[in-house]
Amino acid sequence: MTGEQRIHFHGLVGEFETPKDLLAAVRKTREAGYKKIDAFSPFPLEGLAEALDLGFWDNLVPQITLLGGLIGGLGGFFFQWWANVLSYPQNIGGRPLNSWPAFIPVTFEMTVLFASIFSVLGMLALNKLPQPHHPLFNSERFYKHASNDRFFLSIEAKDPRFNLVETTRFLQGLKAQNVTEVYDE
């Protein structure tokens, strides 16, 4: 009945001072068999995606962008064709109704517009953003430093290998500082 019942244990988070330490720790954590892990860095870190072994299905942004470009390009061209050839044909200087070269500029712009919008909305959707709250924000160190100057590694309690005592010791063994338990209400 009290708040205690609703408290949810998210996992552990550890802190690193340099990108190198984080990369090494991520590799060792994966080697130890942990699956539900994530790394955090205040700027895109080269090699981190490889260390986490992110594959094809972890990044479908290029495919979504291509889809947007195709929809925009084909839709843009055939819409013009339909509007100026079928729906509202006009004789302009005796040119053929399907004067396709004149439709290219708008086709191009629509390709770029749709590809861009698909790319960004797809990126946000795959990242499950907007997501105003996340348990990690309850960690004071994470909140103050993840977007500033420190590198973090989290292991979720959902991970089958997770064991509070052992995993804490494991993270500390990786030179992680301030290993803390993250709870959420």
Partner 1 sequence: MNGNKPPVNSPEIRRLAPVIEPGHTYASVTDKIASIVLTRPTSKGWLAGFGLAFAIVMLLLVAVTYLFAKGVGIWGINIPIGWGFAIVNFVWWIGIGHAGTLISAILFLLNQKWRTSINRFAEAMTLFAVACAGMFPLIHAGRPWYAYWMFPYPSTMGVWPQFRSPLIWDVFAVSTYGTVSLIFWFVGLIPDLATLRDRAVNKPAQIIYGMLAMGWRNSARHWHRYQSSYLLLAGLATPLVLSVHTVVSFDFSIAIVPGWHTTIFPPYFVAGAIYSGFAMVLTIAIPLRKAYQLEDFITMRHLENMAKVMLATGLIVAYGYFFEFFMSIYSGNKFDLYLVKMRIHGPYAPFYYALILCNILTPQLLWIRKVRTNVAALFIMSLVINTGMWLERFVIIVISLTRDFTPSAWGRYSATFWDYATLLGSLGLFTALLFLFVRGLPAISIAEMRELVAHGPEDEE
- Please give the residue ranges that form the binding site for partner 1 (CB under 8 A): 19, 38-45, 48-49, 52, 54, 58-59, 61-62, 65, 69, 79-80, 83-84, 87-88, 90, 92, 95, 99, 102-103, 105-106, 108-110, 112-113, 115-117, 119-120, 122-124, 126-127, 129-134, 136-137, 143-144, 146-149
Cβ closest to partner 1, residue 12 vs residue 115? 115
Instruction: Give me the least distance between CB of 17 and partner 1, in Å please.
Output: 10
Cβ closest to partner 1, residue 88 vs residue 163? 88
Cβ closest to partner 1, residue 8 vs residue 134? 134
Place of tokens 């993270």: 171
Cβ closest to partner 1, residue 39 vs residue 179? 39
Q: How many helices (H) does the chain have, and how many strands (E)?
A: 7, 4
Cβ closest to partner 1, residue 65 vs residue 180? 65
Show Cβ contacts of residue 130 under 8 Å, excluding neighbours closer than 6 positions: 124
Return the half-sphere exposure (C-beta side, CA atoms, 13 A cut-off) of residue 31. 10
Instruction: Give me the least distance between CB of 45 and partner 1, in Å please.
Output: 7
Residues linked to residue 11 through DSSP beta bridges, in sequence order = 156, 182
State the Cα–Cα distance between residues 114 and 119, nearest whole angstrom: 8
Four-residue CA torsion sign, 137, 141, 147, 153: negative
Place of tokens 């160190």: 141
156 residue type, one letter: E
Specify whether the CB–CB gap between 68 and 117 falls below 8 A.
yes
Instruction: Give me the least distance between CB of 11 and partner 1, in Å please.
Output: 13
Instruction: Give me the least distance between CB of 6 and partner 1, in Å please.
Output: 21
Instruction: Give me the least distance between CB of 121 and partner 1, in Å please.
Output: 9
